Amino acid sequence: MVYNEITKILFTNEQIQKKVAQIGAQITNDYRGQKPLMVCTLKGAVTFFADLVRQIDTDVEFDFVAASSYGNGTVSSGELRVSKDLSSNPRGRVVILVEDIIDTGRTLSHLKENLLYRGAKEVKICAFLNKPSRRVVDVEVDYCGFVIPDEFIVGYGLDYAERYRNLDYIGVIDTNCLKD
Ligand code: IMP
Ligand code: MG
């Protein structure tokens, strides 16, 4: 399907998969024998998570959390809402938070703080995309796919108003088309 509002392809699926394999290899090396709890942040990171875990060649466990600091628009509200918590206890665990994109940093800094408060031994952040120019809250990104400029992007799990998550590439969307 062709979307006219997508003005540029930022990363093709081939470029994405190459990068995911590199991150998977890094995590394999760093966590061999530690059985980290891989936490996927719903919904945006689902696609990245599914690809990433298949590139990790050591024991891991999965968990899922749904938190957002966004409404349906493109500007962060600054509020964090947790609509689905982990099903496992993070106490004493090595946790790797897997996120689609870090924008203001609010979501991940809140989540990381929360997991440490609940007794996680270590919390690392793995974000496929990083928009450092938009950062409001300082947060360390331990594993990062690509650093991108301040443009609104969709695809590979990322949405605008719940659309475009299923695209297998990452594209820039024309914000003028988003208004209607
Ligand atoms: P943060 O708390 O501002 O870092 O927000 C991160 C969340 O904002 C991500 O998990 C995305 O859901 C969303 N987000 C930030 N930038 C974009 C974008 O360019 N496209 C789609 N979603 C985005
Ligand atoms: Mg989102």
Q: Are 131 and 148 in contact (CB under 8 A)?
A: yes
Kindly report, residue by residue over 126-176, the tens digit of the pLDDT. Answer: 999 999 998 989 999 999 999 999 999 999 999 999 999 999 999 999 978
Locate tokens 């998977």: which residue?
Answer: 24
Q: Which helix (H) or strand (E) holds 70?
A: none
One-letter amino acid of 91? R
Q: What is the dihedral of CA 153, 65, 34, 120, to 10 degrees?
A: 120
Q: Are 38 and 96 in contact (CB under 8 A)?
A: yes
> Which token pair is 128?
């496929």
Spatial neighbors of 64 by CB under 8 A, at least 6 apart, are 39, 40, 41, 42, 84, 86, 87
- Lowest mean pLDDT, pick from 25-34, 65-74, 84-93, 127-136: 65-74
Per-residue confidence (pLDDT) for residue 177, from 0 to 100: 76
> Which token pair is 82?
């947790």
103 given a catalytic annotation: yes
Spacing, Cα 68 to ligand 2 middle (Å): 7
* Residue 69 predicted with pLDDT over 70: no
Residue nearest to atom 12 of ligand 1 (CA): 44
Determine whether the shortest distance from the Cβ of 51 to ligand 1 is under 6 A: no
Q: Which domains, and CATH codes, for the chain?
A: 14-72+79-148 (3.40.50.2020)
Spacing, Cα 102 to ligand 1 middle (Å): 6
Determine whether the shortest distance from the Cβ of 111 to ligand 1 is under 6 A: no
Spacing, Cα 179 to ligand 1 middle (Å): 18
Determine whether the shortest distance from the Cβ of 100 to ligand 1 is under 6 A: yes
Q: Are 124 and 96 in contact (CB under 8 A)?
A: yes
Instruction: Kindly name the residue from 51, 57, 100, 103 that is annotated as catalytic.
Output: 103
Task: Return mean pLDDT, the chain.
Answer: 92
